[in-house]
Structure 1
Amino acid sequence: MSKIEHPDNHYTQQVKQLIELVYPKEAGRGSVCEDARHYYILTPDLEDHINELQGKLKAVANPDKQPAVVEQLTKKLKSAQAKLESERLERLERLQSVAHRLLALCEGDTYEETQLLSAKFLGTVMLLTRGPEGKFAQLHQRLKPLYKAVLALRLSDKALEHDYISHPYLTARKAALTRFKGNRAWQERWQNEVAMPIIWCALLQDIGLQSYEARAILHGPDNNLDEFRVLENDQRKQLLKINFSSTLNYLKNGLGLPAYVGNDKAERDAFIASHTATMEFMQALMKDAFISKSGLGEILKIPQIYVSVVLSTKPDYSRKSLPKGYLLIEQLAKKGALHNKLAEAFIGIVGYFPLGFGITYIPQTERGFDREGYECAIVTRLNPEHPAEPICRPVTRNLTYIRSGSDETVGRNVNLFFPANRKKLMKMGEDRLKEIMSQLSGNFTPDAIDDLIPSFWEPADYFAYKNNQNLWNRGR
C-alpha cells in the first residue's frame, strides 16, 4: 500500500487539529465553541426539567403512601442531574485537553526553547491565513483564541519576572519561573495553577458571544445578517454586556470545579481549596479584562487588542496594516489606558512585525554595502533586540526560493517596509524591477505590483508546501 502524503508537516497538522478543537470550520463537531453553544441553548431546558421534578417531589402530599410515584420522580431526577453533571465534566475535560495540547506545542523545558516553540506556533497560525481573501473574517475568528492564549502566556511570564502586577495569586507563584531551570515541581504547579487558567480565560474571553442573546444581535432574528458588520453603538454596548455576563456565567456554572476522585478527606479538602483559588483567580482575570481596574486583566486585554489588528475581521483588513498592531498598544499605553510597563514588555516580545509576516529587504555584501535588488524573508522569532528589526528566515537567495538557511536580523536600514529604503531601489529602473517581480510572481499584492518595489510580500503560497514549513528547524 502506498503511503498517502499529507499536505502539511506534522506540526502544522497538529496546529490545524487544535484549531478545530477550539473553533471548528463546520458546526456539529465536538469543540470548545460547540460546548458553549450547547450550554447556552440546551442546558437551561435541562435545568428547568430538574427544577420541575424537584417541585413535583416536594408536592407529593404523602410520600409514604405513594412510594411508586416518589421512586419514579426520584429516578428521573437523578438521571437528569447525572446528565447535567456529565455534560459539565465533559466540557471541563475538553478544555483541559485543549490546554494541554497547546502547551505541548508552545512550551519547552528552557526559556530559549519556549520562546522558539511559541514563535513557531504563532508564526504557523499567521501563515495559515492568506490575508484579505475569501471568507477571511471567519477564519480569523477561529484563529484568534489560540493565538491570544500563547501571547498571554508569554506576557504573564514577563509580569511574573518583573512584578508588574501586584495580585496575591500571581505573587505567591512567582517561583514558577524556576521551571526554566529544571524545577519540575514548579513546572507542574505553573502548568496547573498559572498556565491552565490563563489559557482557559484566553480561549473563553468571548465565549459569551455563543449565547442565544448575543447571536441574535450578531446574526439577526432571521439569521441573515453579517456577524462581522459594524454594529450600531447601542447594539455594541448591549453585546459587550451580554458577552461579559454570559462569559462569567459559563466559567462559573458551565464549567465550575473539576470532580475529586478518591476517599481521603484531607486530600479532598486540599483539592477543593486549590481549585477554588484557581477559579477565583480566573474570575478576577476575566472580570478585569472587561472592566480594567486592577491591571490583572491586561494579561488578556493587551494580546486581545493586538490580535484585533493582526487577525482583524474588519472589511478593510490589509496585510500592510499588520505592523500597526504594536502601535495601537503603544498609543493606548501613552494615554494611560494600558499598564505602561506591561505594554512595553509586550512590544518587546512581539516587536513591530508579527510572526509569519512577509518581509522584503535589500541584501548586503559582507562589507555592508547594499546589493542591487531585494530578497524575501518571513518573521520567525520573538524578542527582537530592537522592535523595528525583526528576526527572520530568508526564503529567497538571488530571487530563487530556498528551503534551508538560518535566521537573520533584518536591519531597519534595509527593510523595504520603510519608505526610505524603497527609494534606494528606484535607481534600478522599471524594467529591472518588473523582471524581479516576474521571477517571484503570484506572491505580491496588487498594490505592491503597482508600486514595483513591494513593502512586504504574502508568504501563504510559499508556506502551503509541506517542505517549506520547517522555518524553525535550526537555531539562530
Structure 2
Amino acid sequence: MNRKVDNPDNLYTQSVKALIDKVHPQEPGYGSVLEDARHFFALAEESAKYIKDVENQFSRVKAKSPDKPIPADLQKKLKHARAKRDSERQERIARITDIARDLLELCEGESYEDTQLLSAKFLGTVMLLTRGAVPNFARFHQRLKPLYKAVLTLRLVDSVLKQEAISHPYLSAYRESSNRFRGNSYWRNKWEEELAIPLISAALLQDIGLQHQDAQKILLGEEKDKDEFRLLEEQDRKQLLRLNYSHTLYYLKKGLGLPAYVGNDKEERHRFNQAHEAANQFREKLVQDAFLSKTGLGEILKIPQIYCSVVLSTKSDYTRQELPKGYLLIEQLGKKNSLNPKLADAFTQIVGYFPQGFGVTFIPVNEQGFEKDQFEFAIVSRLNPENPAEPVCRIASRNLTYICSGNTEVISRGRNLYFPANRKKLLKIGRERIQQIIRQLNPNADPNAVDDLVPAFWEPSDYFTNKKNQNMWNKT
C-alpha cells in the first residue's frame, strides 16, 4: 500500500495528535507541558532570588524605620513579582488540568465497556501513528509515552480498586468510584477531580525533571551534540536519575502546587483547598515512590512505565517483533516479586500479549472451520482478552484484499503467525504461493528466505493513514 498523505485523519485521530502536541510538541513555541517545565526550570532560581532580594529590602526598611510605611514603589515591586510568579504557576496548573480533561474525553465512556473500548482506541491510535524503526523514531516515541502511560495507569487503577489489590489510605477512599459507570454524577466528578486528574498529571510529569538544564547537559552534552537516546555511562545514568528525581518533585511542589479557588464561600474554599492539598500529596507520593520503590504505591506508575519502555522503546535495536515482550517482562517481574504480583497480574490481564494497534498475521478458516492455505491481516483492537495470547482484533484483509469494515474476531493461538509453529504449517503451500500472497498484500516486500516469507506480523501504519480505516473501534 502506498502512503496517502493527502487523506486527512478522522476527528478522533486529529484530537489524539493535537493532545500529543499539547504535552510534547514536535516544534517548540506553541505552549505545552514540556515547555512550561523548561521555562520554569530556566527562570525559577532567578525569580526566587529576585523576590528574596525585594523581601530583604522590605525587611531592612522595616527594621530601620518601624513606624514609617513601606515606600509604595517597593510594595508595588514585591506585589508584582509575587503576582507574576503565581500567575505563571496557575497557568501551568490550568494547562495540565485541561490536558487531563481532554484525555478523559478520549478514553473515558459512560459505562465500563465504553471506557475499555475508548481506552483501546486511544492506545491503538497512538501505536498506529508509529512506523517502526524509521529515522527519528526514538524522538517520536518519547513524545507518545506520557499520554500512553497515563491511559494505562487509569485502567490499572480501576482494576486495582475493583480487586482491592493494593492498600493505600488515599486510594481506599475511591473504592466506589466504579459507581461513575452507573450514572452517579457525584462519583464521576469526585473520581475525575480527586483521582483521575492527579493520576494523569503524575504519569505526564513522572520524568519532567529531565527538562532541567543540568539533566539536559548530561543527555545532550555541553555542546548539545550528543544523542540523548544513547546508552549512558553508569556514572552519568546515576547522576541523571538523581537529577530527575529531585527536579521532578521540586516541579510538582513549586512549579504547580494548589490551584486557585474561585468564589467567596469560606467553607467551600476550605473544602476545595483540603481536597486539592490531599490530591497533590498523593500525586507527589506516587511519583516519589515510583523512583524509590519503598511502599509499593509507585508501581501504579512504574508498571505502565516499564511496559512503555518496550512497546514505545527509544533504543536503537527497537523492532516491532519485540512488542509482546512488554507483557512478558511485566509477567516475569511479577513472578519474581520484583513487582507486586497482584498489580503485575492485573496489568497483564488488561493489555494481553499483543499491544493495541499491533499488526497480527493469521491463518483464516473457511465456513466449515477448516484452515485455508493462505494468511490475512488483522489489528489488535480490544483490551482485556480472555486469553492473553489470543488477541481481540479487527480484521483488515479478506481474500487477500484490504477492507475497512472487517469484523472483530479473536485470533486463536493456533492460527496466529507470530508463533513459529504456525508459520511452519503454511510453508507446505510452497514458496511460489507464499510470494504471490505477499506481493498481493504488500507489493514492496522483498523476502530473502523461505522462513521470512510467512510474516510473523505486519506493519499497519500505512493502512491506518487512510481515514476510512481509522474507524476500527466502532461496535459492529
TM-score with structure 1 length normalisation? 0.96
5 Å-filtered alignment, 1:249-264, equals 249-264=250-265
1:360-380 deviation line (CA, Å, top 9, x unaligned):
000012322110110000000
5 Å-filtered alignment, 1:71-470, equals 71-441=72-442, 451-470=452-471
Cα distance in 1 for residues equivalent to 2:229 and 2:146: 17
Contact kept? 1:443, 1:461, Cα under 8 Å: no
Contact kept? 1:406, 1:474, Cα under 8 Å: no
Cα distance in 1 for residues equivalent to 2:323 and 2:262: 48
| Bigger shift: residues 54-63 or 125-134 | 54-63
| Bigger shift: residues 84-93 or 283-292 | 283-292
SS of aligned partner of 1:277: helix
Letter in 2 for 1:32: V
Superposed displacement of residue 449, structure 1: 8.6
Contact kept? 1:445, 1:458, Cα under 8 Å: no
SS of aligned partner of 2:53: helix
Contact kept? 2:439, 2:445, Cα under 8 Å: no
Superposed displacement of residue 9, structure 1: 0.5
Contact kept? 1:57, 1:70, Cα under 8 Å: no
SS of aligned partner of 1:352: coil
Contact kept? 2:397, 2:406, Cα under 8 Å: no
Equivalent residue number for residue 38 of structure 1: 39
Cα distance in 1 for residues equivalent to 2:255 and 2:198: 15
Cα distance in 2 for residues equivalent to 1:171 and 1:456: 42
SS of aligned partner of 2:413: coil
Q: How many residues are treated as equivalent by the alignment?
A: 470
Letter in 1 for 2:94: E
1:266-316 deviation line (CA, Å, top 9, x unaligned):
221111111111111111111111111222111111000000000000000
Bigger relative CO (Cα 8 Å, ≥ 6 apart) = 2
Unaligned stretches of 5+ in structure 1? none
Superposed displacement of residue 474, structure 1: 2.2
Superposed displacement of residue 57, structure 1: 2.1
Identity among equivalent positions (%) equals: 59
Equivalent residue number for residue 52 of structure 1: 53
1:41-87 deviation line (CA, Å, top 9, x unaligned):
112211111111111222236458986x8221221111111110000
Superposed displacement of residue 450, structure 1: 7.0
Superposed displacement of residue 175, structure 1: 0.8
Cα distance in 1 for residues equivalent to 2:446 and 2:323: 14
SS of aligned partner of 2:324: helix
Cα distance in 1 for residues equivalent to 2:301 and 2:205: 11
SS of aligned partner of 1:122: helix
Equivalent residue number for residue 3 of structure 2: none
1:94 to 1:445, Cα distance in 2 relative to 1, 3 A = farther
1:365 to 1:329, Cα distance in 2 relative to 1, 3 A = same
Contact kept? 1:173, 1:190, Cα under 8 Å: yes
Cα distance in 1 for residues equivalent to 2:368 and 2:344: 37
* Deviant stretches of 4+, over 3 Å: 61-67, 442-450
1:54 to 1:437, Cα distance in 2 relative to 1, 3 A = same
Contact kept? 2:431, 2:450, Cα under 8 Å: no
SS of aligned partner of 1:293: coil
Q: CA RMSD in A?
A: 1.7
SS of aligned partner of 1:42: helix
1:448 to 1:391, Cα distance in 2 relative to 1, 3 A = farther
Cα distance in 2 for residues equivalent to 1:453 and 1:396: 16
SS of aligned partner of 2:377: strand
1:397-454 deviation line (CA, Å, top 9, x unaligned):
0110001022100000000000000001111111111111111225768679971100
Cα distance in 2 for residues equivalent to 1:229 and 1:421: 37
SS of aligned partner of 1:377: strand
1:11-42 deviation line (CA, Å, top 9, x unaligned):
00000000000000012220011101111111
Superposed displacement of residue 172, structure 1: 1.3
Cα distance in 2 for residues equivalent to 1:412 and 1:198: 35
1:106-159 deviation line (CA, Å, top 9, x unaligned):
000100000000000000000000010010000000000000000000000011
SS of aligned partner of 1:378: strand
Contact kept? 1:448, 1:454, Cα under 8 Å: no
